[in-house]
């Protein structure tokens, strides 16, 4: 659901918040946590872990779709599809081509 950069920002806020509590049962640094976030769709979710767990070579899960959405690729694709649709509608209105929807 989130890009890697967004996951890092969320993890940073969670870690800082946990440490600010200064709870006697919490470590003074590098608290361990794993938070699961469900999106509005069943297929939309994210697992957030502390950033420091990835320092030893462990790889953060990467979803290329989420990375591309954040980079604007999907916005560009949507704009292109909108232009194509407008062009097809124009062609239909001018009887340039027949479009059949089944």
- Work out the number of other CB atoms within 10 angstroms of the CB of residue 99: 9
Of 27, 37, 33, 35, the C-alpha closest to 52 is 33
pLDDT-derived band of residue 102, with 50, 70 and 90 as boundaries? very low
The pLDDT mean for the chain works out to 80
Q: Over the stretch 19-48, which tens digit does the pLDDT of each residue have?
A: 999 999 999 999 999 999 998 888 888 999
At 73 the pLDDT is: 58
Q: What is the SS3 assignment for 48?
A: strand
Least confident among 12-21, 46-55, 57-66: 57-66
At 99 the pLDDT is: 47
At 12 the pLDDT is: 94
* DSSP line for 63-80: -HHHHHHHTTHHHHHHHH
At 58 the pLDDT is: 83
């Amino acid at each position: 659901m989130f890009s890697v950069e967004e996951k890092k920002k969320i993890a940073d806020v969670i870690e800082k918040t946990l440490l600010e509590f200064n709870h006697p049962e919490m470590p003074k640094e590098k608290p361990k946590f794993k938070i699961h976030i469900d999106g509005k769709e069943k297929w939309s979710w994210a697992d957030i872990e502390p950033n420091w767990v990835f320092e030893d070579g462990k790889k953060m899960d990467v979803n290329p779709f989420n990375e591309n959405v954040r980079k604007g690729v999907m916005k560009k694709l949507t704009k292109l599809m909108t232009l194509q649709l407008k062009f097809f509608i124009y062609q239909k209105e001018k009887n340039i081509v027949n479009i059949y929807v089944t």
